[in-house]
Chains A and B, each alone.
Chain A
């Protein structure tokens, strides 16, 4: 396997899933071509200006900034459905439509939903 697509569909805070997925994706960099896909509630991870201090958990946006070489695609219709279309996004996140999201998944050798 030379490429992996990590798919997240749950909100960034409230469970360990997003943190775990980003850690796994970061560990895969350099070994494989890595894409992180944000779908459904996971698109909240793409929002700029996150502040998780009150939650006592790491700010996950900082992980995105720390690994700028990680390709992160956010499902544009999910953002629109949640009224987030005009919100500022983390600069490293790429907005993609349904077709492009599917292409990114299909183009990877391995799909890991978390």
Chain B
């Protein structure tokens, strides 16, 4: 199975990037192993307890992707800077289940193992 990596750098709702990433990953999961790396403000996306009212809850959408097999990792430096702390296993009580905080070194690992990379960073 081929591998697709999606890189996000923007937070939820401020642009369509997170929703686009969700839709791409949703379709790709049928044919690809999907990685998503959350960088800079994108580390806000998996936060629990979002209540966007008029938008789809992007945290829950990404949790759904993780449950279906997508590997979703958030940069630890970016997460710590924004107040998200990781447990020893990379989970965070602030995050939806299945999404972990990990080293930035996971990014080149994901890229180098991928057949395709989509960068949604503005």
**A: which residues have CB within 8 A of B?**
1-2, 4, 16-17, 20, 23-24, 27-28, 31-32, 110-114
**CA gap between A114 and B40 in the complex, in Å:** 10
- A interface majority secondary structure: mixed
A1 touches B119 (CB 8 A): no
Q: How far is the CA of A51 from the CA of B105 in the complex (A)?
A: 28
Task: Flag whether B117 is at the interface (Cβ < 8 A).
Answer: yes
Provide the main secondary structure of the chain B interface: mixed
- Nearest CB of A to B34, in Å: 15
B52 beta carbon closer than 8 Å to chain A:
no
Min CB–CB distance A62 → chain B (angstroms): 17
- In the assembly, what is the distance between CA of A61 and CA of B114, in Å? 31
Query: In the complex, which of the residues B78, B112, B114 has the most CB atoms of chain A within 10 Å of its own CB atom?
Result: B112
User: Is A110 in contact with B107, judged by CB distance below 8 angstroms?
Assistant: no
A28 touches B107 (CB 8 A): yes
* Cα-based distance from A111 to B7 in the complex (angstroms): 11
Pairs A–B under 8 Å by Cβ, sample size 15: A1-B111, A1-B112, A1-B117, A4-B108, A16-B40, A20-B40, A23-B104, A24-B39, A24-B108, A27-B105, A27-B108, A28-B108, A28-B111, A31-B108, A112-B117
